[in-house]
Amino acid sequence: MAKTVKRVGVIGGGQLAWMMGGGAKSLGLDLVIQTPQPTDPAVSVASDTIFAPIDDAAATAKLAAHCDVITFENEFINLDALFPLANQGVCFRPRLDALAPLLDKYHQRCYLRDIGLPQPAFNLLETPLNPDTLNFPLVLKARRHGYDGQGTFIFKDRESFQELWQKLADTPLLVEEFIPFERELAVIAACSVSGEVVVYPVVETQQENQVCRRVIIPAPISSETQQEINAIARTLLNSLQAVGVFGIELFLTANNQVYVNEVSPRTHNSGHFSLDACETSQFEMHLRAVAGLPLTKPILKCNGAVMVNLLGYEYSQNDYLEKRQKLASQPQTYVHWYGKKQSRPGRKLGHVTVLLNSNSGKNPQAIAQTIETLWYG
């Protein structure tokens, strides 16, 4: 008989773990968090907290003693240090073997190639390097620890590449073909302990400087493209046999070709809209999966939505209460503030979701513009 899960350990205490709080409460689960600082967002929703770096395996052993299953808020973990715990019977979901091919972006590319998913051409960037052998434009990515635009560089020509290359020479890098996309898309998918896969609506993500600024739900794409992306998500999760929620970012070209950009083995920024726009949020769905509970249908409960990230635009300790109140006064608007103590340019401080219906009048871009004007001024 399967073990009943009541206490879920989460490695990482940022906003993704914090947003699991509502789902945990509705499912009657306790969250036990491993995170470095008492000021980290998820501490406020935790039943218990172990204060330690997220890659501290000794702390994770203590975490295991306080919970029934362990999951992950992010991928900045020391996988090799966790395998001995798994061998001792600690239950990780997703399982460590499923995470292994995804944490290093080069290994991830190789895995996607091996299971036949469409993606850009790629290779390791070897040293010593002859830039004359490269085709521009191209994309460079750090193989580990890249997020929110950090560790991703797009070069249009050889001159700009050579300027930055010297600074990156000691960083393990992946070089990718630049895809001239028409839209950037994303999809959230979840897999249960029994192998059931559910897929959320495909969304359009709009990036600036490789950081997601806004998400349009659902994406304005053909039913054929939706079906292709749904099949990509199912192929990936079935191949990995991974339990939990995964975020998949994709490119769509002008001739409707789909390419996988990146896979994140966790809840994802592109799925935050689900907190307000779906019957079951990605965070509750993730907890359902890792706790061995039945998955529900990931359907919209409105015609659509717009999600706008509230990014820092200055260095300060401002809580921006007045701006948040103005945002919350907009029709069908929900403000999620992560409670971070410091703002800095580009840091995700919160997000806003606006629900759409057939009578909303404004198009999604106009709504996003209104939110950003209120926030950035």
Cβ within 8 Å of residue 139, ≥6 positions away: 120, 152, 153, 154, 155, 175, 176, 177, 178
Cβ within 8 Å of residue 43, ≥6 positions away: 13, 33, 35, 37, 49
Alpha-carbon distance 80 to 168, whole Å?
Answer: 25
- The reply, when asked if residue 341 is annotated as ligand binding, is no
Which among 344, 356, 345 has a CA at the least distance from the CA of 215?
Answer: 356
Alpha-carbon distance 264 to 282, whole Å?
Answer: 13
Which among 63, 5, 59, 62 has a CA at the least distance from the CA of 32?
Answer: 63
- The reply, when asked if residue 262 is annotated as ligand binding, is yes
- The reply, when asked if residue 204 is annotated as ligand binding, is no
Tokens, residue 219: 């994406």
Task: Region of 341 please: left (phi>0), alpha (psi -120 to 50) or beta.
Answer: alpha
- The reply, when asked if residue 178 is annotated as ligand binding, is yes
Which among 207, 96, 115 has a CA at the least distance from the CA of 152?
Answer: 207
- What DSSP letter does each residue of 31-53 carry, written as one string? EEEEES-TTSGGGGG-SEEEES-
Alpha-carbon distance 70 to 74, whole Å?
Answer: 12
- The reply, when asked if residue 176 is annotated as ligand binding, is yes
- The reply, when asked if residue 261 is annotated as ligand binding, is yes
Alpha-carbon distance 174 to 144, whole Å?
Answer: 10
Backbone dihedral angles phi then psi of residue 145, each to the nearest 5 degrees: 65, 25
- The reply, when asked if residue 372 is annotated as ligand binding, is no
Neighbours of 214 (CB within 10 A): 22
The annotated binding site for ATP is made up of 105, 141, 176-179, 184, 261-262
The annotated binding site is made up of 105, 141, 176-179, 184, 261-262
